[in-house]
Chains A and B, each alone.
Chain A
Amino acid sequence: MSKQDLAIETEGLVKTFGKTRALDGLDLQVPTGTVYGVLGPNGAGKTTAVRVLATLLRPDDGQARVFGLDVRKEADAVRGKVSLTGQYASVDEDLTGTENLMLLGRLLGHRKPAARERAGQLLEAFGLADAADKQVKNYSGGMRRRIDIAASILNTPDLLFLDEPTTGLDPRSRNQVWEIVRLVVAHGTTVLLTTQYLDEADQLAARIAVVDHGKVIAEGTPGELKASIGAGAVHVRLRDAAQRPQAEEVLARELGASVQLEADPVALTARISGDETKLGAAEQASRALSELSRAGITVDDFSLGQPSLDEVFLTLTGHPADDDAKEDEVAA
């Protein structure tokens, strides 16, 4: 990949807060025109990385370039190309939707009538026209996230940072945000998306970097990553609890993986390994299911689960997502 095709390039990026090394030699290469997922638990350094790249924090060490521009030396030029939305970059709750967008429009150099027109178009496009004159603090979670995104595409940016855009949203609002992200990328904007959900990165990102303790611990397409960590797990519910030991045996043999018995006496879960066979997870699961029925075991229900972030971490690092990070989550 030539350097011109990179929207973001970092080398050995370091940022410390007191004794915490939030970024500890972060290396990223984000190609232009795609969604790039940065996946990691709370406290992994995702937000710090975004803040450094958006010129809000100065790195202590290392290099970071956005479209070839140095975030330290050419910060102002970087600001002209990027835009961010996230936990720490928000709109003003006391102002209405229209006022917020007009404020930003004017700060980006639009004259008042043009700013008003642009605000109206954006509110319309994001389904917020009815709430245009309401204070943002009265918006629902999904509306709030949409106005945040609308605010960051006031001037369509070349690079958009979305810092955990769906955390705390209900599934419907989450799908709306996903759809918006897809459309934004389709119009040529590069998106750097941070998330705690493998599912989300899988849905949206062309490439994913898994981050832990301020470092990239794995990088690749969603397919490559999943292959390296196992494809997920098959959850099975039997009709008869008495058949469970037999079912356990069949699954263990078919999938070549350890089988976990659930608290529910008719349920069991088997992990599917992704790398040992050329078969996809679904095929492996269906083969195992037909083996179960051949053995005369009645299956009432089954589902194929993606590996959770916890499983990803366990596989990649040998330790679960940090406990102190979980405390952060509670505090936030």
Chain B
Amino acid sequence: MSTATQETTASSYVPSAEILGTVLARGDRPARPGALSASLTFGWRAMLKIKHVPEQLFDVTIFPVMMVLMFTYLFGGALAGSTKEYLQFLLPGIMVMSVVMTTMYTGVSVNIDIEKGVFDRFRSLPIWRPSPMVGYLLGDMFRYTMASIVILTLGLILGFRPDGGPVGVVAGIAVLVAFSFAFSWVWTMVGLLMRGEKAVMSVSMFVLFPLTFLSNVFVDPETMPGWLQVFVDVNPVTQVVDAVRGLMGGHTNGAALMWVLIWGAVLIAVFGTVTMRLYNRK
């Protein structure tokens, strides 16, 4: 980027009454966009941001690869006798863990937009109120799907063989992405509440570490002490892992799927409502 060109543009500009007059003429205002259209436009913005700042995809590409490799080889021998055996158990779990962990970036983006002042411009527009939020989440669903595909590909290379076949795998990823969409509303709320992106990150660590580790991602909960099992059993991450494992493994777990559905609905109802309340009051 040369500063020279900018300087000439900046200094040679003289506002012309004629040209500005043309753009200022009051034309017919188009009808307001609908809820879906406005949300999709914000989703398009999220895509443009990925295009301009591709580094933000590291956390859905490099990070999941690291997670899979680390935990497969760290625990594989000890927990299942061989890494290949363990991978059959671990891969759906680690996929859920990685994706759920990346949901917190939704909160970070919301927070950065507030700080940069972009947010106020959106809030002053006559559009469906939740659409900027839904837009973030649409962009993030793309990221979640991408992370899932990266993990799946690596898993297949390392020897993961899902009995559920392509249909089961796609269904598993769909359930995970849908749950993450619902779960992200927690972070839109946190993003609106916190003063800076660092605060958002530290809050998210407090929530995400217990939620992902105290689950059935790495080991069968039956080996855990009773009090811990109580938490693990109600942990939504456990339900999502059960559901995804079931779908990918070819033995659909109806109960887990139902719990995921209930959790998703509750998360959106509670955190979606709080988010929109904060958004309107901010």
| B41 x A107 contact (CB < 8 A) | yes
| B124 x A89 contact (CB < 8 A) | yes
| B10 x A173 contact (CB < 8 A) | yes
Interface window among A20-28, A52-60, A240-248, A315-323: A52-60
| B22 x A121 contact (CB < 8 A) | yes
Interface window among B44-52, B218-226, B249-257: B44-52
Cα(A188)–Cα(B118), bound, Å: 27
Known: A180-B20, A183-B24. A58 touches B281 (CB 8 A): yes
Residues of B within 8 A of A142 (CB): 10, 13
Asked whether A179 is an interface residue with its Cβ less than 8 Å from the other chain, the reply is: yes
Q: Specify the chain B residue showing the minimal Cβ separation from A58.
A: B281
| A183 x B33 contact (CB < 8 A) | no
Closest CB in chain A relative to B11 CB, distance in Å: 6
- Residue from the list A55, A87, A126 in contact with B117, Cβ < 8 A: A87
Known: A135-B52, A139-B6. A79 touches B24 (CB 8 A): no
Residues of B within 8 A of A77 (CB): 126
Residues of A within 8 A of B24 (CB): 153, 156, 183-184, 187, 189
Closest CB in chain B relative to A28 CB, distance in Å: 19
Closest CB in chain B relative to A83 CB, distance in Å: 7
- Residue from the list B10, B25, B124 in contact with A83, Cβ < 8 A: B124
Asked whether B123 is an interface residue with its Cβ less than 8 Å from the other chain, the reply is: yes
Asked whether B202 is an interface residue with its Cβ less than 8 Å from the other chain, the reply is: no
Residues of B within 8 A of A83 (CB): 124
Asked whether A293 is an interface residue with its Cβ less than 8 Å from the other chain, the reply is: no
Taking residues whose C-beta sits less than 8 angstroms from the other chain, chain B's interface range is 35 or more
Question: How many A residues face the partner with a CB closer than 8 A?
Answer: 66
Asked whether A134 is an interface residue with its Cβ less than 8 Å from the other chain, the reply is: yes
Interface window among A38-46, A93-101, A257-265: A93-101
| A55 x B124 contact (CB < 8 A) | yes
| A95 x B120 contact (CB < 8 A) | no
Closest CB in chain B relative to A118 CB, distance in Å: 8
Asked whether B1 is an interface residue with its Cβ less than 8 Å from the other chain, the reply is: yes
| A106 x B20 contact (CB < 8 A) | no
| A183 x B20 contact (CB < 8 A) | yes
Asked whether B157 is an interface residue with its Cβ less than 8 Å from the other chain, the reply is: no
Residues of A within 8 A of B19 (CB): 124-125
Can you pick out 29 interface pairs between chain A and chain B where the beta carbons lie within 8 Å of each other? A54-B124, A79-B126, A83-B124, A87-B117, A88-B120, A92-B45, A92-B49, A92-B113, A92-B116, A94-B53, A99-B48, A103-B41, A106-B41, A106-B44, A107-B41, A111-B30, A124-B19, A127-B12, A138-B1, A143-B9, A153-B24, A156-B23, A176-B15, A179-B14, A183-B20, A183-B21, A183-B24, A186-B17, A188-B26
Task: Please report A residues at the B interface, Cβ cutoff 8 Å.
Answer: 51, 54-58, 76-77, 79-80, 82-84, 86-96, 99, 103-104, 106-111, 114, 121-122, 124-128, 130-131, 134-135, 138-140, 142-143, 146, 151, 153, 155-156, 172-173, 176, 179-180, 183-184, 186-189
6 closest A-B pairs by beta carbon, nearest first, are A127-B13, A109-B30, A90-B117, A187-B24, A79-B126, A89-B120
